[in-house]
Amino acid sequence: GNHGVFMANTSNNTTYRNNDSYRNYNSNFSAHTGSHTNVTVENNRAIEDSMILFNLDGAVIQNNVFTATATTSARVYLGGGNSAITVDGNTFNGVRSPAIAIFDPGFGYGANSNVTVTDNTINASVVTLTLTDIGLIDLRDTTGTNVVSGNTITIQSGTLGVNSVRGITLRGAMG
């Protein structure tokens, strides 16, 4: 299918917990249209899947395991309009693109703000990365207080398949 779970319109106090997903075309969990408050996404396993999130206010994404990817999209993508978000204790294995990307691609949701990215484990190989210039944790044009701390990033060596790879990338205006 396109999305394992797609939240449209509005939601409050939503929990997505203890699920397994495999190769959903767009994502295993997605929030787009409308505002979504107090969202918890935890203890899920996603193989070749991602989370695509817009308009979250007060969300925790924790203790999930992401394995590999068939696409160039991030495993956890905060696409704009998100505020007071914690991404903590997740494991990303065999990623071929950013594990965590936080930026508004111009869809009109606005900047992300007050994002905390802590204690995640990211395992990647330069041989399998698909983008030409990659940050495994990629923050762009955020506002408020944003924290990236305590993450473990392991990049296995080999013949570099990309122009450059960085563990953490900060771009544009940062609040």
Instruction: For the chain, give the mean pLDDT.
Output: 85
pLDDT of residue 10: 84
Q: Check residue 50 and give its pLDDT.
A: 82
Residues 6+ apart with CB under 8 A from 106: none
Confidence check: pLDDT of 175 > 70: no
Lowest mean pLDDT among 9-13, 47-51, 66-70: 66-70
Kindly state the percentage of the chain with pLDDT values over 70: 81
Question: Is residue 56 predicted with pLDDT exceeding 90?
Answer: yes
pLDDT: is 16 or 162 the higher one?
A: 16
Task: Determine the pLDDT at residue 93.
Answer: 93
pTM comes to 0.90
The model's pLDDT over 78-129, given as tens digits with 9 standing for 90+, comes to 999 999 999 999 999 988 788 999 999 888 899 999 999 999 999 987 766 6
The residue-averaged pLDDT of 9-15 equals 88
What pLDDT, on the 0 to 100 scale, is given for residue 59?
96
More confident: 1 or 167: 167
pLDDT classification of 1: cutoffs 50, 70, 90? very low
